[in-house]
Structure 1
Amino acid sequence: MKPKIFSIIAGIGFAFSGLQSAYAQSAPIKFAGCYDLTKSYGFVTPQIAQAAKDYAKILNQKGGIEGHPVEFLVQDHGNEPQRGIECYEKMKREGAITFDFLSTPVSRAVLPRAMADGQVMLQSLVGRGDAINGDVFKWVFPIGPTYWGQVANDIQFAKNQANGNLKGKKIAFIYPDYPFGQEPIGMLKTLAEKEGFELLLAPHPMPGNDQAAAWTQIRRFNPDWVISWNLSNMHVVASREMKRNGIPMDKYIAVNWFNEVDINNIGPENAKGLKRGTNVVGGQDHPLIQQIIKDLYDKGQGSGDRKHLNDVYYNTGLAIYASVFEGARLAIKQYGWPLTPEKMKKGLESLKNFDAGGLIAPVTVTAKDHGGGGKTRVDMWDGKKWVSQTDWISSYPDVIKQIVDKESAEFAKGSK
């Protein structure tokens, strides 16, 4: 039987030893969100934090995690690595058990420090693709698809559409020319050589308002598909440039950072045919979201603007912390209180076929694999709603493993 999202709530009745004090029974579990709330990622981090806080409130209404209240601590790092390090140190002093940064440059800056300290660092949907190697990155958990895995799944989708043969096909990759956008390039080059398709790299400068040169280059290339690692308003700019250059919208496959706000800004009808890779189910139909609406927002107790509940980024926050909170529950249940970083690490490594009640693709995390499987699917906007184009898939595992082993070995060698 698949673990359900409510297993966290259902497991709250665990009996503690009589030797534990009343204080220990009620000591909180703190999770740290050091986020960019003001600069590059302000379009997504408020929804992620709001979801985590709402979920913590729901759990606390039911008695917390194994009898312990949940606290979600948030501080802005402005997408600046040094401020991210300062936030990490502050949250560590405050007793946080996990640390989440939601920024590739900040995650990369903090990672060596967290590794040296033996602190659990979350890295879902950002950061180093090779961090799924639990043998090397013992304290880092990129649970869910890395950018390497996600772009590999996009290529698999294109291959399926070409009846299993990409030879002679053309794929353009448009991206902001900074670490987040550059992350999938090595995987794309490897797959281009393996599958025989022609790859065009089309970078554009930050903050992404000027994409004219990149799209002119893409028009001349005349691709079969355009894989986009754009963010937020960059997608809107891209849609205008596609129209100007006569490039059909149905060739566009966006990274997971594409939401309902972007659809509205492009125009629901104009966006028809556009596709995105995703790791989480959208909409408000999931039972946990319905419970949050009923128990929090209908009573004026939500952690943010109600409109965000219809945003896939909110669902992404729930998905991330469903896995993290379940890992904490497993850690306490299996290894007892107090919850230490080592126990939290083992708890996350105990996740097995966890799908958050159908909110995400099933993830299984082990001591060797901290990614959980890397499954995504491709959805298409039909003018009114998102329609799934694939099942949850995890493609090219052999290629990903080769790159992960190579990159992580270089990291291990350099860190000695």
Structure 2
Amino acid sequence: MKQLTKALAVVSLVGGLITGPQASAEPFKVGVCYDLSKAYTFATPQVSQAAMDLAKLINMQGGIGGEPVEVIVRDHANEPQRGIECYTRLTREGVFVFDTLSTPVSLAILPRAMQDERILMQSLVGRGDAVDGTVFEWVYPAGPTYWGQAANNIAYIKQVHDGDLSDVKVGYIYFDYPFGQEPIEILQKLSEQEGFELLLYPVPLPGSDQSGAWSKMRRDKPDHVISWMLGGAHVVASKEMQRNRIPMEKYISVNWLNEVDIANIGAEAAAGLKRGTNVVGGQDIALRTEIISELYDNGEGSGPLVNTQDVYYNTGLAMYSIIFEAARRAAESEGLPITAQSYKSGLESLENYDANGLMAPITVTAEDHGGGGKTRIEMWDGETWVPQTDWIAEYSDVVWEVVKESSSKYKE
């Protein structure tokens, strides 16, 4: 499959540049409106650094269609009004592709992007029902929703129990606000369908007080524990598991768990811990290797080298590989300048795109803006992440039932 740069020939390794006159080329701009100062700083430095690195690499290799690329990074501090201001300001500068990496900000910008016919990327954040392209025409949550992640986690647990969940207890520990509450409906539906017992353990933000939940879990004895928490809350959970003699092997985290969390838990103590993800863990990734060689070894990296050793950096590379590959396809099929409409067509031409093994393959269509919702379970073995499943998208009928129910309400 023909893709974006030597790097994105690293992403068919992204390959196949279109060349053109550089002199009059205007940059293809992406608005990176992120929380760089408050709630999401456990991930935004690594993801934005990956975006800037990838843009540098692409420009070193000729840009897209002879057109340079530019990522414009601004801080919205997870405040919806500041996010709207970032969107408005960058719109005036010619930006029509935006990413927020924040659910509150994405929700605030979404109606404007829809009205203005500008692209809102919202991988791993935002409305789960925005995968429904028939309703959310300009919103692209490329990757799995939290609904899909939770469903795939249950599919893995079913695999562990040889296809029979009738005598299985599944605990769900979660932040008691929308991020953590979102998967509950799917889990309840699957509990009814598969016959497992679902046990809910809400914890208050920021997750520093989990003692009551884990003490109750010690008494309930769930066979598996799905966790929908962030950052330091994973470390607190690990300490509570040790205190209550609950094996780490039972823990299955949402995708937001990284090497910083592992280090704070302790590499050996974390062995057996699992997470659902759509992005490959570890550092042995072709695109990252090329970036280190071309940029960091020459003093041209966009930030600290240590950030590139984090799975959230891989997440950023995956997200922006999608963004730039869609631009490449738009330029190839409809020429320059890239427009919002041609870019939309570029996104909807992605078929089994996996950035050369960096992430779960996605196929984006006019109907499915999520790309299929595949994830896999990876386990920390004390040194690195080891896949436990193939890329899977299970219970899609149940997930899409919830998607359609929710998106129809928005449409009304």
TM-score computed with the length of structure 1 as normaliser: 0.95
Give the Cα–Cα distance (whole angstroms) in 1 for the partners of residues 17 and 119 of structure 2. Answer: 23
1:290 aligns with 2:295: no
1:29/1:97 contact within 8 Å kept: no
What does residue range 13-412 of structure 1 map to in structure 2 within 5 Å?
13-14=18-19, 22-23=23-24, 26-412=25-411
- Give the counterpart letter for 1:403 in structure 2: V
1:14/1:333 contact within 8 Å kept: no
1:2/1:353 contact within 8 Å kept: no
CA deviations over 1:358-404 (Å, ceiling 9, x no partner): 11121111111111111111011111221111011111011111111
Cα 1:141–1:8 change in 2 (3 A) is: farther
Give the Cα–Cα distance (whole angstroms) in 1 for the partners of residues 180 and 78 of structure 2. Answer: 15
CA deviations over 1:150-169 (Å, ceiling 9, x no partner): 11100000011111011131
Give the Cα–Cα distance (whole angstroms) in 2 for the partners of residues 137 and 8 of structure 1. Answer: 32
CA deviations over 1:28-70 (Å, ceiling 9, x no partner): 0110111111111101000000001000000000111111111
Structure 1 window deviating more from structure 2 (107-116 vs 223-232): it is 107-116
Give the Cα–Cα distance (whole angstroms) in 2 for the partners of residues 283 and 128 of structure 1. Answer: 29
Give the Cα–Cα distance (whole angstroms) in 2 for the partners of residues 38 and 92 of structure 1. Answer: 23
1:12 aligns with 2:12: no
1:105/1:180 contact within 8 Å kept: no
1:54/1:303 contact within 8 Å kept: yes
1:170/1:225 contact within 8 Å kept: yes
Cα 1:191–1:2 change in 2 (3 A) is: farther
2:360/2:374 contact within 8 Å kept: yes
Residue 8 of structure 1, CA deviation: 9.4
Residue 342 of structure 1, CA deviation: 1.3
2:175/2:207 contact within 8 Å kept: yes
CA deviations over 1:178-197 (Å, ceiling 9, x no partner): 22212211111111111111
CA deviations over 1:53-106 (Å, ceiling 9, x no partner): 000000000111111111101111111122211111112112112111111222
1:170/1:224 contact within 8 Å kept: yes
Structure 1 window deviating more from structure 2 (110-119 vs 148-157): it is 110-119
RMSD value over aligned CA atoms? 1.6
Give the Cα–Cα distance (whole angstroms) in 2 for the partners of residues 184 and 82 of structure 1. Answer: 27
1:2/1:355 contact within 8 Å kept: no
Give the Cα–Cα distance (whole angstroms) in 2 for the partners of residues 322 and 193 of structure 1. Answer: 38
Q: Which secondary structure state, in structure 2, belongs to the residue aligned with residue 365 of structure 1?
A: coil
Structure 2 stretches lacking a partner, 5+ long: none
Q: Which secondary structure state, in structure 1, belongs to the residue aligned with residue 252 of structure 2?
A: strand
Residue 237 of structure 1, CA deviation: 0.5
Give the Cα–Cα distance (whole angstroms) in 2 for the partners of residues 89 and 8 of structure 1. Answer: 35
1:28/1:69 contact within 8 Å kept: yes
2:29/2:72 contact within 8 Å kept: yes
Q: Which secondary structure state, in structure 1, belongs to the residue aligned with residue 101 of structure 2?
A: coil
1:2/1:354 contact within 8 Å kept: no
Residue 177 of structure 1, CA deviation: 1.6
Give the Cα–Cα distance (whole angstroms) in 2 for the partners of residues 238 and 42 of structure 1. Answer: 20
Give the Cα–Cα distance (whole angstroms) in 2 for the partners of residues 217 and 252 of structure 1. Answer: 16
- Give the counterpart letter for 2:271 in structure 1: K
2:13/2:355 contact within 8 Å kept: no
Q: Which secondary structure state, in structure 1, belongs to the residue aligned with residue 378 of structure 2?
A: strand
Give the Cα–Cα distance (whole angstroms) in 2 for the partners of residues 8 and 89 of structure 1. Answer: 35
Q: Which secondary structure state, in structure 1, belongs to the residue aligned with residue 356 of structure 2?
A: helix
- Aligned residue pairs total 407
Residue 217 of structure 1, CA deviation: 2.5
Residue 348 of structure 1, CA deviation: 0.4
Residue 281 of structure 1, CA deviation: 1.2
- Give the counterpart letter for 2:170 in structure 1: I
1:3/1:354 contact within 8 Å kept: no
CA deviations over 1:285-343 (Å, ceiling 9, x no partner): 22211111111101111001001111110010000111110001111111122222111
Give the Cα–Cα distance (whole angstroms) in 2 for the partners of residues 219 and 98 of structure 1. Answer: 47
Give the Cα–Cα distance (whole angstroms) in 2 for the partners of residues 240 and 411 of structure 1. Answer: 41
Give the Cα–Cα distance (whole angstroms) in 2 for the partners of residues 223 and 348 of structure 1. Answer: 41
Give the Cα–Cα distance (whole angstroms) in 2 for the partners of residues 386 and 8 of structure 1. Answer: 22
Give the Cα–Cα distance (whole angstroms) in 1 for the partners of residues 35 and 114 of structure 2. Answer: 22
CA deviations over 1:107-159 (Å, ceiling 9, x no partner): 12221121111110001011111111110010000101111111110000001
Give the Cα–Cα distance (whole angstroms) in 2 for the partners of residues 278 and 287 of structure 1. Answer: 19
- Give the counterpart letter for 2:109 in structure 1: V
Structure 1 stretches lacking a partner, 5+ long: none
2:3/2:14 contact within 8 Å kept: no
Q: Which secondary structure state, in structure 2, belongs to the residue aligned with residue 226 of structure 1?
A: strand
Give the Cα–Cα distance (whole angstroms) in 1 for the partners of residues 217 and 31 of structure 2. Answer: 41
Q: Which secondary structure state, in structure 2, belongs to the residue aligned with residue 90 of structure 1?
A: helix
